[in-house]
Structure 1
C-alpha cells in the first residue's frame, strides 16, 4: 500500500515561512472579525499538519516559548531536516513526528494533548479525499473548545481555468516516468509547445499566461508538489465549511486581514447583493465569485464565541504595532496581496502612524493618542494595522510578548544564519516580540551571523555572500542591472552589508530578533 496515497514524496517541498500561521496573526484576524481569540499570556498548544521543511514550526516555537508546539509530516527526509534545525537551536517546546494523517486521526501518535491551534498550509487541496477525511477526524479528536484551525488552500473559482492544465500535465507525467521535479519540467515544456501552436484552450483562456510563465520560473520542487499530486483539487469555501462543520467548527473569517473590511474589495452594489444572502456559507462562496479567488486562508473555530464591540475593544487595547521595513520605504499606497491591487491609505492617518513607528513599536492605544487619530474610532486604527500588516510593512504583536524570553529565538536565528553559509533555503528569522518571523535575505542573515560572532568585517561578509550567490548561480545587481565582474559584485555587496548594519539592525533590535 502506498503510505503517501498519491502525494509527491520523491522531491522535498521547498522551505518557507508563513506568517499567517502564527498564533498572534490568527488571533488578530479573529479579533478583527469579532471572534474571541486564544490568550497568549499563558501556556498554549499548537499543531501543524504537513510541515514540509518545518521552518514555520521551528520559527513559531522559537518565538513563542510559552507555547508547546507539535508538527507532523510524512516525508522522512523533511522530518530529519526539521529536527536538525530544532536540535541546533536547542528547542525544548517543539516535537516533530514522522506520521501519516491516518495515524494522527486514529490516535496512534502517543501523548498528544488537546490543541488551541491546528494549522495547515496548502496540503488540504493536494491530497486525496480519504486523506482530507483523516485531517478532519484529527481536528475533531484533538481541537479544544474555542480552538482555532487555519487552512490555506487552492480555491475555486479562481483555479477553474487551470484545472485542464493540471490534468494535462499529470497525464503527460504518467507517460514519462521519472522523478517528480523532472516530470513537471518535461510536462511544462510540452505545454509550452502546445501554447506556441495556438491551441484553442490557451487562446480562449488568456489569463493562463501568468500561470504558464510560472512553469518556467518557479522552483521545480515546488511545481512538482503543486501539479503532480494525485489528489490535487482546488475546493470551494462551501466544501471546506461542510467538511469542518462535521467536526463542529464554524467559519470565523480570513487570515487575509483586509478581508475583514469588505469595502476594500467589493463594490457597494456587490455588498448589497451579498448582504441579501442569509446563509453565511453561500454568502462567502458568492464573495469568491466576485473576487475570482485563487487561494483562501480560512480560519475556523470550534464552539465559536462572538464578541461585543466592548469586548473587541478590550482585545484591541492589548495589541501593538511594529514596523518591519525601513521607514523611508514604507508607503501609503499598499499592495495587500489578495487580488484587489493597490490600496491607498489616507495620508493624513497613515503617515503619522508610520512616523510614530519609526522610533519603535507602539501600542494601538499610544497610536490612538496621535493628534491626527484622536477623533478616529479604534476600529479605524485596527484597519490601518491590518493593511500595513497585509502589505508587509508592519506586524501586530500582543503586549504580553514584550516580556517573553528571547534566548530560544536568538538560538534559532543563529542556527538559521549559520545554515546560510551553505544554503539560502531558510529565508526568515524569529521575532519573539511578534511571536512570528520576519523575512531575511541571504546577506542579511550573514550580517546576523557576524553580529552573533561579534566579528563585523564588511569585506568578509560580502565575500561569504558572493560565494553563496555563486553556488546557486545568482548574480549581484545594481539599479536592476546584473554586475559582470567579481570585483564590482563584491564592492556592491559591501555597500549592501553596510546599509544592513546601519539601517536593518536597529529594526531587528526593536523586534528582538537580535
Structure 2
C-alpha cells in the first residue's frame, strides 16, 4: 500500500491554529463539565496527531513553556515546515516527528506518557484501520486522568451532503492529474451539474452550505475534506464505543456553549432528553435534535466527577481576560449554538471590569452587581464569554511563566508574514493560547518588536504597502477593493493608528509584547 494509505497527498493542508486544542481550553472545558481537569501549574506532556505544518503545536508550546509538546504527522512536507517554524522560534520544548498512526499504535515511537492527546479534522478523514490505530495509541500513551480532544464530521447533519462527497471522490479518482487540478475539475463538474438543473441540487436546500464551501474554501482544505478514501462522517455513539476500548469516558463538548442545553434546546426537548438514561444514546438523540454535522468531543481516561467544593477550588484558579477590542464588545453573544442575549445586569459589569484589566473569577465575584451569583455562575459566564471570542479563560499560574518563548515565536510569525499570509495568529503566554492576528497586525507587530525609542508610523505604512504589493494582497474598505496607491496608503495609515491605540494595549496585557 502507498505511504499515505488512501489519505489525500500531493497538496498540503492549509496552515491554521485551533485554540480548542490548547491545554488551557481542555482543562477549563473539563471544569465546566464538572470533571477533574489536568493541572497546568506543573510540567505536563502533550501530543498532537496529524499536526500539519505545526502552527498549533508551535503556538501552544511557546505559550505553555512548562509543557513538553510532541507533534506528529506522516507528511514529510508538513514535518519540514513545522520544524522550520519551531527552529526559528528556538522552541526547545517541542519535538516534531514523522510517523504513521500504525507505528505509534505498535509502540515503535519512544514517547513519554501523555496528559493530552489532540487531533483536528483527522478522525473522520482517515479509514477504519487508522481510526483503530488512533484508539490503540491512546490506550498505549495516555496517562490515567489524561484528556483527549477529537473532532469529526458527524451524522445526522452530514447526511444530505454524502452524495456530493461521493461525486467529488469518484471524479478525482478517475483523474490522473495533480491533486490541485483534480479538485479544479471536480468543482467544475459540480457547477455544471447545478447549471444544468440536476434535480439532486434543486431538491436539497440543506446542501447550500457545502456548495458555498466547495466554491470558496482553500483547495488544501477541500482536498482533505472530500478526497480521502476513508472519509466518513460518524455517529457519536460509534466514536464513544471505540474510545471506550481505550478506557475513555466522554465528558462533553469542546465547544463550551454546548455545556448549557437550556440555551439551545426547548423545554420539551430537554424533558425528552432527561428520559434517556444511556449516555451514548442521549448524546445521539441530542445530535438529532440539533442536526449536528460537526462534533468536538472531549474524553478523559478515568473521568472523576467533582464535588461542588472541589469545583470551587478549581474555579478559584481561573482568570478571565479580554481578547476583543473594547468598542466591539456586545451582550449579544455569537455562539456556535446561535446568538444568545446575555443578561446586562451581570455581563455588563464583567465586561467593564475586563476592559480595565484581566480579573480572577474571585475578583469578579466581588463586584457588587454580582453578589447574587455563585462562583459557579461566574464560571459559566466565563465559559460563554470565552465561547463568544470576546474574552478567554486562563489559569492564574500562567502569570508566573516565562514569556520569552512566546515572544520569540511571535517574532518569527511576524517575520514570516513578510512573505506569505499563512500564520494568522500570535501566542499569548498569559492565556496559554493563541490570539487571531491579521496580516496588517502581524506586520506592525514586527516593527514593535524592534529596539527603538519611537515607532515611525510612516515607515511602517510604506513597508506594509510594499508587502501587500509583493504578495498581491488586496486591501478592502467597506467591502470595496481599494485601487489607487493613495487610497491604500491612507487606509494603512488609519489601520496602523487604530492598532497602536486599540490593539497594542491588549497585546501588552496578555504578555505578548
> Distance in 2 between the 1:505 and 1:236 partners?
44
User: 1:380 Cα shift?
Assistant: 2.0
Normalising by structure 1, what TM-score? Answer: 0.98
Mapped partners of 1:154, 1:165: distance in 2: 14
Aligned: 1:415 with 2:425: no
Instruction: Please show how residues 86-105 of structure 1 align to structure 2 within 5 Å.
Output: 86-105=86-105
CA deviation string 1:324-362 (max 9, x = no partner):
0111101110111x2x32111011111111110001100
Q: Distance in 1 between matches of 2:381 and 2:180?
A: 42
Q: Report the CA distance between 1:410 and its aligned residue.
A: 0.4
Matched, 1:384 2:384: no
Instruction: Report Cα offsets for 1:350-377 as digits up to 9, x if no partner.
Output: 1111110001100001111111111112
Q: 1:467 matched to which residue of 2?
A: 466
- Structure 1 pair 465–158 and aligned structure 2 pair: CA distance change class (3 A): farther
1:493 aligns with 492
Distance of 1:321 and 1:378 partners within structure 2: 13
Match of 1:370 in 2: 367
The residue aligned with 2:283 is 284
Q: How far apart, in 2, do the equivalents of 1:230 and 1:358 lie?
A: 49
Cα deviation, 1:412-433, whole Å, max 9, x if unaligned, reads 0001001111011000011110
**Pairing of 1:440-459 with structure 2 (within 5 A):** 440-455=437-452, 456-459=455-458
Distance 2:317 2:22 in 1: 17
- What's the CA shift for 1:23? 0.4
Deviation readout 1:429-448 (Å, 9 max, x if unpaired)? 11110111000001111111
Structure 2 residue 343 is the aligned partner of structure 1 residue 343: no
Once the two structures are TM-superposed, the CA of residue 282 in structure 1 deviates from its matched residue by 0.4
Q: Distance in 2 between matches of 1:106 and 1:127?
A: 18
Question: Do 1:10 and 1:179's aligned partners in 2 also have CA atoms closer than 8 Å?
Answer: yes
What CA distance in whole angstroms lies between the structure 1 residues aligned with 2:103 and 2:458? 51
CA distance, structure 2, for counterparts of residue 190 and residue 457 of structure 1: 52
Q: Residues 201-255 of structure 1, C-alpha deviation per residue, up to 9 Å, x if partnerless?
A: 1122112122112211111111111111111101011111011100100101111
- Report the equivalent of 2:247: 248
Helix, strand or coil for the counterpart of 1:165? helix
The residue number in structure 2 matching 1:216 is: 215
Matched, 1:199 2:179: no
| Contact map agreement 1:442 1:465 (CA 8 A) in 2 | no
Counterpart secondary structure, 1:405: coil
Alpha-carbon offset, residue 185 of structure 1: 2.1
Q: What is the distance in 1 between the residues matched to 2:106 and 2:80?
A: 23
1:171-216 deviations in Å (ceiling 9; x for gaps): 1112222222221221111111111222111122112122112211
8 Å contact 2:419–2:471 — kept in the other structure? no
Q: Which secondary structure does the structure 1 equivalent of 2:123 belong to? A: helix
Between the aligned partners of 2:467 and 2:217, the Cα distance in structure 1 is: 20
Partner of 1:183: 182
User: Which residue in 2 is equivalent to 1:25?
Assistant: 25
- d(CA) in 2 for partners of 1:222 and 1:208? 18
More displaced, 321-330 or 467-476? 467-476
Cα distance in 2 for residues equivalent to 1:154 and 1:460? 47
CA contact (8 A) 2:475 2:488 kept: yes
CA distance in 2, matches of 1:291, 1:463: 49
- Confirm or deny that 1:432 pairs with 2:429: yes
Residue 8 of structure 1 deviates from its aligned partner by 1.2
2:49 maps to what in 1?
49
Residues 382-402 of structure 1: per-residue CA shift (max 9 Å, x gap) = 221111111111100001101
Partners of 2:284 and 2:183 in 1: CA distance: 31
Q: For residues 195 and 467 of structure 2, what CA distance do their matches in structure 1 show?
A: 36
Query: Per-residue CA shift, 1:424-478, capped at 9, x if unaligned?
Result: 1000011110111000001111111101113522233223333333344432122
2:36 alignment partner, SS class: coil
Q: Which secondary structure state, in structure 2, belongs to the residue aligned with residue 430 of structure 1?
A: strand
Once the two structures are superposed, what CA deviation does each residue of 1:302-333 show, in whole Å capped at 9, x if it has no partner?
01111011111111111000000111101110
Counterpart selection for 2:353 from 347, 351, 356: 356
Structure 1 pair 293/467, CA: closer, same or farther in 2 (3 Å)? farther
- 1:385 and 1:396 in contact (8 A); partners too: yes
8 Å CA contact 1:50–1:72 kept in 2: the answer is yes
Q: Distance in 1 between matches of 2:480 and 2:34?
A: 48
- Inter-partner Cα distance in structure 2 for 1:292 and 1:412: 40
The question of whether the paired residues in 2 share the 8 Å contact of 1:148 and 1:299 is answered with yes
Given that 1:316 and 1:364 are in contact with CA atoms closer than 8 Å, whether structure 2 keeps it comes out as yes
Give structure 1 stretches of 5+ with no counterpart. none
What per-residue deviation string (whole Å, max 9, x for no partner) do you get for residues 266-307 of structure 1? 111001101100100000011111111111110000011110
DSSP 3-state at the match of 1:506: helix
Other structure's SS at 2:31 match: helix
Q: Contact 1:334 / 1:343 at 8 angstroms: preserved in 2? A: yes
Aligned to 1:80: 80
Offset at 1:257? 0.3
Of 94-103 and 370-379, deviating more is: 370-379
Q: Count the aligned residue pairs.
A: 511
Could you say which residue in structure 2 is the equivalent of 1:67?
Answer: 67
Asked if the contact 1:70/1:94 (under 8 Å) is kept, the reply is yes
- Give 1:92 shift: 0.6
Instruction: Give the secondary-structure state (helix, strand or coil) at the position aligned to 1:124.
Output: coil
Give yes or no for contact 2:315–2:379 (8 Å, CA) kept in 1. Answer: yes
Q: Which moved more, 1:457-466 or 1:190-199?
A: 457-466
